[in-house]
Amino acid sequence: MSEAAATFTEDRQRLELAALSAPAVIFTVAMIAFPVVYTVWLGLHSFSSTGKQSFVGLANYSRLLADTEFWHGLWVTIALYVLSLVLQLVFGVWLALVLFHAKRLPGIVRSLFISPFMMPPVVAGMMWLVILDPSLGAANYILQSLGLPPSEWLASPVWVIPTVALIDTWQWTPYVALIVLGGLQSLPPSVYEAAQIDGASAFKTFQRITLPLLLPTIVTATILRSVDLLRFFDIIYITTQGGPGNASNTLNIYGFRVGFEFFNIGYASALMLTLTAIVFGAVLAFNRLRGAVAW
Amino acid sequence: MKAKAFAARLALALVAAGNAASVACAADFDWKKFQGKTVTFLANNNPVAQALLAHKADFEKLTGITLKVDGYQEQQMRQRLVTVMNARSDEVDVFMSLPSREGPQFAAAGWYADLTPMTKGAVAGDYDYAGLSQALLKAGTFDGKLTSMPMNIEGPILYYRTDILKKCGVEPPATIKDIEPAAKKLKACDANITPFVSRGLKPAIAYTFSNMLHNIGGNYIANGKSNLCSAKGKEALATYSGLLRDYGPPGVVNYSFQQISALYRSGRAAMSFESSNELRTVMDGGERLKDTALVPFPAGDAGQVPTAIGWGMAVSAHSKQPEAAWYFVQWATSPEIQKRMALQGIAPPRSAVANDPAYRKWIEEEPVRKQWQAALDVLAAKGSSEVGYPIVANPESREFIGQAVQDLILKQKTVDQACADADKGLDALIAQK
């Protein structure tokens, strides 16, 4: 076959491949791009309560900067994010170590440890709402049985964020633990043997070997949990709807209410795009960190 | 004289012709006219819809129409509706709507089909349009257009424990001013009992608070401005929040109907100001059947102006088959179906159904049901459907009312600060077109 003929065959094959994969590519791009482009378009418009729309340019974004509820929502979102993430990483690593070292732990116990994150968040929210009810719930009953004062839990403007963070931690710690457990199982045994020969204590081994080697895995877990935590919605909506007052009104809850309860879709879209930008920013930052701690 | 006699005869002839036409129309009415069609019903998965849809097969058998039910929880149902309506889609033919909440907004957006001509056109002979609650029909009429047909009547009423009040030597409160001393006495008498409970969850507060405001003599708007900082408005805010803060359960700011009914049913509340719809839930298990009495909320300076609302059935303005949709609405709000729903504990918006022998027998079976019906009669006769501000942005107005009450329950603001902040936001909402 001449060179020209071979090139022609190659080009033809490429064209065929492109033609065959085009529908899937177009479909995927459309499915991802359309909602984003549509939300951007919505964010440039104002919708009255009766659905009438008008182009307002960036007015929704300038309104956002002057909106105290937005800044409060941002603060609540970040507070909830930081608190939940720290708790989940600490307990997740601890649970992973327990599961890793307890080789003889029965399968049923292991399943129980990791079961919360398999529960639908709405069910988890309803369950905790009942448990934490200040009058009828089991949580205060236990506290009072131990001679401790009862708490208002989700009904207290002071305690609502820690309480929601605890519920989320209860649900998602096992997920972090599973990721970390995967990382633990892939660590090279030779470094542990060397540490043992050198007489390193268990704590020193964890501090100097396990933790540094686990860092890329922990950062991966951080990225996955960050995306979820920054757009945390379901449990908050089920348990407090952003209350009491606006004490747990995260950006996501605020945007939802503006859009679907007050029907201001334009402003809600601007809020959601801002939240999306924050999520992307966090993911990019942690991605860089992952690159830095890779080994 | 002759002219007068002629005019009288002409008028009589016209009335007779009108009656004959409507009789002919009823006689011509054919339930099978839309046989083979499919009507889509967007339903709120609440007790009212559940009671109705228990008879779905009967509708399909009667009309030959297939009824496709799209059921969601209340808020999710609205989300779905907003999406469908904004897209001007004909996916939904009939939907449930609360005229007191979204009525002005949906009407202004043009989402409701006008039912006025339908109620005068294809109507079954036994429909008895005039027998429906005129107050609820009025509440569902915007700019002269009838937007929904009432499915039920409901409103907040006071449930109280006769045994606890008797044990503590407390008379049932006859006026709003009697509630606080009664609650105080109950608190001193039995520390394990919550003396008074009502809605404290921000978006839910307007439902019960409006009754108190109106009984006290307050109103939401005066001279085009929000009126919460009027003397009556402040009195209502202080009284409502004070009762919940000092005599309500811990965590009352998260209380809506589920928590209130659970607390009362478990025997841990002496007085509960909650929806008449909750009767079935509260009486579930039968423990409260013999020790509970029900009354409309006690009178204030303006007497009793109870909140009375009802779910309505509306036909979508974008439906491509409004006539078939109207057949479903008509069947669902007919005397026969409303009687069946009444026997399932859904208060009927028709006095004729309320007087039906089978329904009366059900009512007479338990004293508490008799009191429930008596309270509903007061709601039907004196009720106001104003829950929150009578403006297009009614749902948002409820947020400001709820925020003001919560600020007071949580002692985060004084009454003057709370009402002033609420009035500021509400004035902006009122100004919106």
Nearest residue of chain B to residue A257 (CA atoms): B396
Whole-angstrom distance, CA of residue A92 vs CA of residue A221: 10
Whole-angstrom distance, CA of residue B401 vs CA of residue B237: 9
Give the up-direction half-sphere exposure of residue B91: CA atoms within 13 A in the CB hemisphere: 13
Which pLDDT value is given to residue A47?
A: 81
Whole-angstrom distance, CA of residue A159 vs CA of residue A172: 20
Look-up: residue for tokens 């803060």?
Answer: B245
Cβ atoms B368, B160 nearer than 8 A: no
Residue from A45, A49, A143 to probe the interface with B (highest B Cβ count within 10 Å): A49
Whole-angstrom distance, CA of residue B121 vs CA of residue B28: 11
Nearest residue of chain B to residue A159 (CA atoms): B251
Highest mean pLDDT among A195-209, B148-162, B249-263: B148-162
- Give the residue from B68, B60, B74 showing the smallest Cα distance to B93: B68
Q: Is B192 on the interface with A (CB under 8 A)?
A: no
Q: How many C-beta neighbours within 10 Å does residue B22 have?
A: 14
Q: How many C-beta neighbours within 10 Å does residue B37 have?
A: 17
pLDDT at B174 over 50: yes
pLDDT in tens, A122-146: 899 999 999 998 888 899 999 999 9
Whole-angstrom distance, CA of residue B240 vs CA of residue B245: 9
- Give the residue from B84, B264, B53 showing the smallest Cα distance to B160: B264
Residue from the list A51, A262, A265 with its beta carbon closest to the beta carbon of B395 = A262
Residue from the list A52, A240, A246 with its beta carbon closest to the beta carbon of B254 = A240
In percent, how much of chain A has pLDDT > 70? 99
Tell me where in chain B the CATH 3.40.190.10 domain(s) lie.
2-153+309-366, 156-307+368-431
Which pLDDT value is given to residue B26?
A: 56
Residue from the list A50, A246, A260 with its beta carbon closest to the beta carbon of B392 = A50
Give every CB contact of residue B303 below 8 A, 6+ residues apart in sequence: B215, B382
Q: What is the DSSP letter of B172?
A: P
CA separation (Å) from B330 to A216, B94, B174, B313? 65, 11, 40, 9
- What is the SS3 assignment for A217-277? HHHHHHHHHHHHHHCCCHHHHHHCCCCCCCCCCCHHHHHHHHHHHCCCHHHHHHHHHHHHH
Cβ atoms A242, A254 nearer than 8 A: yes
Enclosing H/E stretch for B178: helix B176-189
Q: How far is CA A143 from the centre of its chain?
A: 30
The arithmetic mean of pLDDT across residues B167-172, rounded, is 96
Enclosing H/E stretch for A167: helix A160-185
Q: What is the DSSP letter of B303?
A: B
Q: How many C-beta neighbours within 10 Å does residue A232 have?
A: 23
pLDDT in tens, A231-261: 899 999 999 989 898 899 999 999 998 988 8
- Cα three-residue angle A205-A208-A210, rounded to 5 degrees: 65
Residue from B254, B316, B397 to probe the interface with A (highest A Cβ count within 10 Å): B254
- Give the residue from B82, B85, B49, B32 showing the smallest Cα distance to B319: B85
pLDDT in tens, A85-127: 999 999 999 999 998 888 777 778 878 888 898 889 889 999 9
Structure tokens at A161: 């964020």
Residue from the list A50, A135, A155 with its beta carbon closest to the beta carbon of B109 = A50
Structure tokens at B278: 């909750």
Residue from the list B201, B251, B407 with its beta carbon closest to the beta carbon of A135 = B251
Q: How far is CA B221 from the centre of its chain?
A: 21
Cβ atoms A60, A66 nearer than 8 A: no
Structure tokens at B75: 């808020």
Whole-angstrom distance, CA of residue B74 vs CA of residue A190: 60
Q: Do A261 and B251 touch (CB under 8 A)?
A: no
Strands B66-72 and B38-44: parallel
Cβ atoms B224, B432 nearer than 8 A: no
Which pLDDT value is given to residue A192?
A: 87
pLDDT in tens, B195-249: 999 999 998 999 999 999 999 999 999 999 999 999 999 999 999 999 999 999 9
pLDDT at B143 over 70: yes
Whole-angstrom distance, CA of residue B300 vs CA of residue A252: 41
Q: Which CATH number fits the domain B156-307+368-431, given the four candidates 3.40.190.10, 3.40.50.720, 3.60.110.10, 3.40.50.300? A: 3.40.190.10
pLDDT at A155 over 80: yes
Q: Do A49 and B108 touch (CB under 8 A)?
A: yes
Structure tokens at B210: 């409006």
Give the up-direction half-sphere exposure of residue B46: CA atoms within 13 A in the CB hemisphere: 21
Residue from the list A152, A157, A262 with its beta carbon closest to the beta carbon of B250 = A152
Residue from the list B79, B266, B403 with its beta carbon closest to the beta carbon of A136 = B266
The alpha carbon of residue A260 is apart from the nearest alpha carbon of chain B, in Å, by 6
Chains A, B: CB contacts within 8 A come to 87
Cβ atoms B68, B57 nearer than 8 A: no
The arithmetic mean of pLDDT across residues A52-63, rounded, is 91
Q: At what angle do helices A68-101 and A160-185 cross, to 10 degrees?
A: 40
Q: A245: which chain B residues are within 8 Å (Cβ-Cβ)?
A: 202, 253, 403, 406-407, 410, 412
Q: How many C-beta neighbours within 10 Å does residue A33 have?
A: 10
From first CA to last CA, the distance across chain A in angstroms is 49
Asked if the peptide bond before residue A244 counts as cis, ω within 30 degrees of 0, the response is yes
Residue from the list A136, A155, A241 with its beta carbon closest to the beta carbon of B262 = A136
Which pLDDT value is given to residue B22?
A: 45
Which pLDDT value is given to residue B11?
A: 45
Whole-angstrom distance, CA of residue A106 vs CA of residue A74: 43
Residue from the list B111, B194, B250 with its beta carbon closest to the beta carbon of A150 = B250
Q: CATH fold of B2-153+309-366, please? A: D-Maltodextrin-Binding Protein; domain 2 (3.40.190)
Q: How many C-beta neighbours within 10 Å does residue A107 have?
A: 7
pLDDT at A183 over 70: yes
Every domain of chain A and the residues it spans:
3-43, 67-293
Domain A67-293 = CATH 1.10.3720.10: yes
Whole-angstrom distance, CA of residue B309 vs CA of residue B330: 19
Q: How far is CA B65 from the centre of its chain?
A: 29
Q: Do A245 and B266 touch (CB under 8 A)?
A: no
Q: For the residues of B200-231, what is the DSSP string, one character each?
A: -SGGGHHHHHHHHHHHHT--SEETTEE-TTSH
pLDDT in tens, B78-107: 889 988 988 889 999 999 999 999 999 899
Q: What is the DSSP letter of B142?
A: E
Q: Is B251 on the interface with A (CB under 8 A)?
A: yes
Structure tokens at B287: 């423990």
Cβ atoms B319, B391 nearer than 8 A: no
pLDDT at B352 over 50: yes
Q: Is B266 on the interface with A (CB under 8 A)?
A: yes
Q: Do A154 and B254 touch (CB under 8 A)?
A: yes
The alpha carbon of residue B62 is apart from the nearest alpha carbon of chain A, in Å, by 37
pLDDT band at B2; cut points 50, 70, 90: very low
pLDDT at B20 over 80: no
Q: B110: which chain A residues are within 8 Å (Cβ-Cβ)?
A: 50
> Listing from the earlier edge strand, what are the strands of the sheet with B194-197?
B194-197, B269-275, B156-161, B292-296
In percent, how much of chain B has pLDDT > 90? 72
55-114 in B: which are within 8 Å (CB) of A? 75, 78-79, 82, 85-86, 105, 108-111
Nearest residue of chain A to residue B394 (CA atoms): A262
Q: For the residues of B312-373, what is the DSSP string, one character each?
A: EEEEBTT-S-HHHHHHHHHHHTSHHHHHHHHTTT---SBHHHHT-HHHHHHHHT-HHHHHHH
Taking an 8 Å Cβ-Cβ cutoff, which residues of chain A contact chain B?
A: 48-52, 133-136, 150, 152-157, 239-246, 260-263, 265
Which pLDDT value is given to residue A31?
A: 87
Q: Is B39 on the interface with A (CB under 8 A)?
A: no
Whole-angstrom distance, CA of residue A16 vs CA of residue A20: 6
DSSP reduced 3-state for B144: coil
Cβ atoms B227, B236 nearer than 8 A: no
CA separation (Å) from A219 to A213, A222, A287? 11, 5, 8
The arithmetic mean of pLDDT across residues B177-199, rounded, is 96
CA separation (Å) from A257 to A131, A160, A254? 26, 19, 5
Which pLDDT value is given to residue B209?
A: 98
Structure tokens at A112: 């129980």
Q: Is B236 on the interface with A (CB under 8 A)?
A: no
Q: B194: which chain A residues are within 8 Å (Cβ-Cβ)?
A: 135
CA separation (Å) from A102 to A107, A115, A185, B24, B348? 11, 18, 13, 84, 63
Cβ atoms B309, B387 nearer than 8 A: yes
Whole-angstrom distance, CA of residue A106 vs CA of residue A91: 21
More confident of the two residues A28 and B1: A28
Q: What is the DSSP letter of A149?
A: P
Cβ atoms A143, A62 nearer than 8 A: no
386-405 in B: which are within 8 Å (CB) of A? 392-393, 395-396, 403
